[in-house]
Amino acid sequence: MVETARKLAIYEDLLDLAEDVKAEVVRGAIVTLPSPTPRHSKAQRSLAHLVGRPFDDDDGRGGPGGWWILLEVDVRLSTHDIVRPDLAGWRRERLPEPWDLRPIDTRPDWVCEVLSPSNVAHDRVHKRRLNAAHGVPFYWIVDPDARTLEALRLQDGAWVDTGTYDETATARVPPFDAVELEVGRLFPPAPTL
């Protein structure tokens, strides 16, 4: 019996998909992702504001500046690993002009994934490993259902927990520890009893 080799997907395979399909290539396989829920979108937008404002939008006016914080852009970590993180950040000296790049071929300095019920294993297992393998220094996982933020730092090829925070926490979370982050502001208001 002759077994044919599976063709590994590349970026151009993503371009062949319909415009409204959100997909990534992980280890050569196309992975389609569902549209985000409002809870997911709230966390993503809040992070973009709470982290993006002092590190990106302010350009150093009132915040440290020095970063580009981008939402859902295609990042090519390798020929067969192309991801679209919920949020990704680059120090400006490493990526001075990202505006017309698609995909971005420079490894992010920070990635944040916001969990949805349908993608927990993808973000917690597969993308966590993938980001470590490609040397992403910081990886955050936001869980809107549990109302938590888990922050990891890459050290000697392995993730080290730099803090896990619930909605009551106000914390300085690397790599954005120059400002305090009110974790509860990432989530919709808590249901009243």
Task: Please report whether residue 24 resides in a domain.
Answer: no
Q: What is the mean pLDDT of the chain?
A: 93
Please give the residue range of the domain that contains residue 115.
Answer: 34-186
Q: How confident is the model at residue 5 (pLDDT cuts 50, 70, 90)?
A: low
Residue 123's pLDDT is 92
Task: Please report whether residue 29 resides in a domain.
Answer: no
Sequence-distant (≥ 6) Cβ neighbours of residue 110 within 8 angstroms: 67, 87, 88, 89, 136, 137, 138, 139, 140, 175, 176
> Could you tell me the CATH number of the domain that includes residue 167?
3.90.1570.10
Nearest to 104, CA basis, from 80, 74, 134, 133: 74
Give the tens place of pLDDT for each residue, 32-43: 988 888 999 999
pTM of full prediction above 0.75:
yes
Total domains in the fold of the chain:
1
